[in-house]
Structure 1
Amino acid sequence: MKRVTGIGGIFFKSKDPKALTDWYASHLGVPIGEHGEVMFQWRGAEHPAEEGVTVWAPFPEDTDYFEPTKAAFMVNYRVDDLDALLEALKAEGVEIDPKREDFDYGRFAWIIDPEGNRIELWEPPKGQQTA
């Protein structure tokens, strides 16, 4: 089983997400989406017909999305088989948040690394690049 196949997103806290995204758009040409996110689209070498995406998004500095950690960032990793990976991580003693979310754009779960950082795991829908 493949575990992590790539970075699905970089999320971080910001004092003023709107001003920050405007700065990135103005000075670096980053294409900001409707909700202040950036969707970097790409295609993998193994499956060039399938599209992949890496998300970049600032969150308000008072967000509770990264809890229970107080870290200013969270990395989202793409995975091939979320359920199998979670079972393997459980057997290895990794701290796993019981919360799960399922959307048309994929399935999500969260774990905590040994330093207390929250990590988001994302299994994209079949047909969307994960590697």
Structure 2
Amino acid sequence: MKRVTGIGGIFFHAQDPAALRAWYQRHLGIDVQAWGGAAFSWDDAGGSTIWSVGGDREQFSPGKASFMINYRVDNLDALLQALRDEGCTVLDKAPDSEYGQFGWVIDPEGNKVELWQPPKGQ
């Protein structure tokens, strides 16, 4: 089974999200949009990686890091089951949405890792 196929997104928690977004826009040239992030398109594969800065700490719980990486996967249900079988701490899967399927695992350092199966065709 193929596990991770790419990075779907990188999400930062910030004490002052507007100031941090402005810093990245000014100094690194990231085209920050009104929703608080940017999408980097993959020309060769037809996908994209989302970059986002926000102030909602809850999306990172129970992890302690100020960031979370979202990994693209082909078969979320099979991967979550494989991780459970391997003794990993797997959190409840989110309900399916128009954005696809999301699940989470906690790595050995206590970081919350997001796994994302995009909708068909993305």
TM-score over 0.5 (shorter chain) = yes
Are residue 67 (structure 1) and residue 70 (structure 2) matched?
no
> Are 1:113 and 2:107 counterparts?
yes
5+ residue gaps, structure 1, are: none
Note the alpha carbon deviations across 1:18-76, whole angstroms, 9 max, x for none. Answer: 111122222322111221111111133xxx4xx2110111122x611111122111111
Structure showing the higher helix proportion among its residues: 2
**Off by >4 Å, runs of 4+ in structure 1:** none
Q: Which amino acid aligns with 1:52?
A: G
What CA distance in whole angstroms lies between the structure 1 residues aligned with 2:95 and 2:112? 15
State the Cα RMSD in Å. 1.5
Note the C-alpha offset of 1:102: 2.1
The percent identity for this pair of structures is: 56
Matched, 1:103 2:102: no
Instruction: Report if the CA contact (8 A) 1:67-1:118 is conserved.
Output: yes
Q: Does 1:11 align with 2:14?
A: no
Q: Which residue of 2 aligns with 1:28?
A: 28
CA contact (8 A) 1:101 1:109 kept: no
Q: Work out whether 1:43 is the aligned partner of 2:43.
A: yes
> In the alignment, residue 42 of structure 1 is paired with which amino acid?
W
Question: The residue matched to 1:65 in structure 2 has which SS?
Answer: helix
TM-score by length of 2: 0.91
Query: How many residues end up aligned between the 2 structures?
Result: 122
Structure 2, unpaired ranges of 5+: none
- Give the TM-score of the pair, scaled to structure 1: 0.85
Structure 1: distance between partners of 2:107 and 2:28: 32
When you count strand as a share of all residues, which structure comes out higher? 1
CA distance in 2, matches of 1:121, 1:43: 22
Q: Secondary structure at the match of 2:92?
A: strand
